[in-house]
Structure 1
Amino acid sequence: MTVVLRSPQELRSWRKQQKGSVGFVPTMGALHSGHEELLKQARRNNDVVVLSIFVNPTQFNDPKDLEKYPKTWDADLAMAEANKVDAIFYPRYDEMYPDSYRYKVTENSYSNLLDGAHRPGHFDGVLSVVMKLFNVVAPTRAYFGEKDFQQMTLIQGMVESFFMDLEVVPVPTVREEDGLAKSSRNVRLTSTERMQAPAIYKAITESQTADEAAERLTAQGFIVDYVTDVGTRRFVAARLGDVRLIDNVQI
């Protein structure tokens, strides 16, 4: 039976009663098979599994994007129960931000590149809420998908910089059969856009250079925010209609 906890106080009280290792999967809900892979790994490697569902307003630089973010509580709960999640942390905004976001976590280098360059304040919101969640859940391990590779890297850096006592576990991107990276935003694509969307993966894997991939996507009707090679990975963010999609691959 999966217990649902609504406040940090409830979760901390419950957490004190748990024994053994705790695997944590932080999400904004609208769960899909990519999230399910995180839950499965957490279940395999830990005595206790905690899932959080919180659509975090501070990481949305576009209020319309926040309004449109899908909410699928019944399906999320069913997935949690099917994967033997012990507890869901499902807090309200005022419980997570009693200070109205006066205090925040800021990284001053990598967070200004890629998505950070196009979404001002986004990673401040991500890092701030993840630190809050880590402090409340006190996990042994936390699981993050490599689709959000920049986010995952920043969280790993935060954990190291603040001497936080947990392991950040990367999980490879889960894809549809046509290559499209699983994302909660995919449900907002029209049927025509859904047919176009796999071109992102094809472009970044088949093109010799990032510029070539960007040109391919632009020619196919995408509005490209960036295609950039950083180290041994190629990153992309592009829009179809009003849906912004991101991906990255090893090169």
Structure 2
Amino acid sequence: MQIHTTIAAMQKASAATRRSGQTLGFVPTMGAIHQGHLSLVRAARAQCDVVAASIFVNPLQFAPTEDLDRYPRPFEQDVALLRSEGVEHLFAPTPQEMYPAGATTFVEVAGLSERLDGASRPGHFRGVATVVSKLFHIVQPTAAFFGQKDAAQLAVLRALVRDQNFPIRIIGCPIVREPDGLAMSSRNRFLSPSERAAALTLSRALHDVAVLPNATPDRLRTFLIEAIRQAPSLRLDYAEIVDPETLLPAQDLNRPTLVAIAAWSGATRLIDNAILAPVTNVAAEEPELCHHV
């Protein structure tokens, strides 16, 4: 695996891949690699000739009160994991390389960026859209792979690619979960045993809400809110029933619907979600909650 720390080096490697006629799959990460990230690498490997990943803890997507300094950075461990999956190129720039002194340009997807996580983390998706735009220009991949766990981010980036005419396919991949159902996250390592036990309320609530009888968007949302309230150590950020593309509140359940939830367990903010199939097509069995890849 070649490790590139400068934009010029990554651009050179990407250009060589394109000249050879090979397709390039790209997995952007902030490091602290876990099996969820590696599932994206495997998806990229299955669909593309060459795989590139990036590790960059993007300061633009953290508010001053958030955990930028605390965010885990086990770089050597991350390199070993990516190398074990056969990643050919790793782009690992410094903040100074990505944002040189005097840089004043930002990218924002209006509307979508103020919904779900964007509503509770103002400016977050401006930071995401800006860094991903830069990464796409640098790497110029054929396809980029992102996890469904970050459902709002996925909607924002699909709109970004559409609006800016990036010749890149955005591939959303299923949520990867721990055996007990907790969605994998780099921040899970911050949870104490009691906080982790409480965090399981999120995935359990999503499972239960998916089989709720006589469901309506309002009833689903009320159910989620009550489930979080009954867990004393959890603090709800949001529970929403929305269209997965626009992130606007769903008016009914007659089309695929995103059920999204965010809550604090102790000092750690966690997110989770599920896509519900249209009620008119729901079979008797339990719905898919993306427990596998």
Normalising by structure 1, report the TM-score: 0.96
User: Does residue 225 of structure 1 match 2:243?
Assistant: no
Match of 1:244 in 2: 269
Alpha-carbon deviations, 1:185-223, whole Å to 9, x = none? 001101111122111111122134112211211220211
Measured against aligned partners, the alpha-carbon deviations of 1:141-180 in whole angstroms (never above 9, x if no partner) come to: 0000000011011101100101111100110110111111
Kept in 1, the 8 Å contact 2:109–2:159? The answer is no
Q: What aligned pairs does 1:55-94 form with structure 2 within 5 A after superposition?
A: 55-94=57-96
**The structure with more helix, counted as a fraction of residues:** 1
1:100 deviates by: 4.7
Paired AA for residue 194 in structure 2: T
Percent identity over paired residues: 38
Task: State the secondary structure of the residue aligned to 2:154.
Answer: helix
Distance (whole Å) between structure 2 residues aligned to residue 131 and residue 166 of structure 1: 11
Q: Could you say what the CA RMSD is over the residues aligned between the two structures, in angstroms?
A: 1.2
Assess if the C-alpha contact under 8 Å between 1:94 and 1:100 holds in 2: no
Q: Is contact 1:204-1:210 (8 Å) kept?
A: no
> Which is worse superposed, 131-140 or 8-17?
8-17
Residue identity opposite 1:223 in structure 2 = R
1:62 Cα offset (Å): 3.9
Match of 1:194 in 2: 196
1:50 is paired with a residue of what secondary structure?
strand
Query: What secondary structure is seen at the aligned counterpart in 2 of 1:85?
Result: coil
1:17 to partner: Cα distance: 2.0
Structure 2 partner of 1:155: 157
Give the partner amino acid of 2:228: L
Q: Closer, same or farther in 2 for the Cα pair 1:149/1:101, shift >3 Å?
A: farther
How many residues align structurally? Answer: 250
Counterpart CA distance in 2 for 1:199 and 1:16 is 46
Matches within 5 A, 1:3-152: 3-18=2-17, 19=20, 20-152=22-154
2:25 and 2:51 in contact (8 A); partners too: yes
Q: Which residue of 1 aligns with 2:225?
A: 214
CA distance 1:113–1:64, change in 2 (3 Å): closer
Q: Distance in 2 between matches of 1:125 and 1:149?
A: 16
Structure 1 unaligned spans of 5+: none
Give the superposition deviation at 1:114.
0.9
- For 1:132 and 1:118, the matched residues in 2 are separated by 25
SS at match of 1:173: coil
- Corresponding residue SS for 1:66: coil
Shift of 1:43: 1.1
Q: Residue 8 of structure 2 aligns to which amino acid in structure 1?
A: Q
Distance 1:64 1:157 in 2: 26
Runs ≥4 in structure 1, deviation > 4 angstroms?
A: none
